[in-house]
Amino acid sequence: MIIEYKLDAGPHGMTVPTWVKDGGYYRDPDNFTMVGWTPDAPREFKVPETVTVLDKAALTTRILDMHGRYPMQKEGDDGSLVDMTTDEVTAEVSTWYDRW
């Protein structure tokens, strides 16, 4: 399942929660959240009940909101960075979501 999470603070600094199996995607600098993946239930470990689970629509809404504040960019034809369109961002998020 796709989740929104924050890093854990520990004696050795900030760490990814152990129940996040792949994460660090689509970091929101305003609230320090990231997107990641953890297995669907049943699983052998507990995921906190407070974790936000994102379906494709919720993930797309989250990323488009971030894109409005911090435009996602791509390499243009001349090699410079250019802002992605809403359609391009939506397609990228859809492709990313579907791979899980």
pLDDT in tens, 21-62: 999 999 999 999 999 999 988 888 889 988 999 999 999 999
Q: Which of 26, 23, 98, 37 is nearest to 69 (CA)?
A: 26
For residue 13 the two structure tokens come to 């600094």
Instruction: Give pTM, 2 decimals.
Output: 0.88
Q: What is the amino acid identity at position 65?
A: D
What percentage of the chain has pLDDT greater than the value 90?
86
Least confident of 2-6, 12-16, 46-50: 46-50
User: 67, exposed or middle or buried, with CB in 10 Å at 0-12, 13-18, 19+?
Assistant: buried
Q: Residue 100: its pLDDT value, please? A: 83
Q: Are strands 22-28 and 33-37 parallel, antiparallel or unpaired?
A: antiparallel
Helix spans in the chain (H): 56-69, 86-98
Greatest alpha-carbon pair distance for the chain in Å reads 50
Region of residue 9 (phi > 0: left; psi between -120 and 50: alpha; otherwise: beta): beta
Residue 56: both structure tokens together: 């494709």
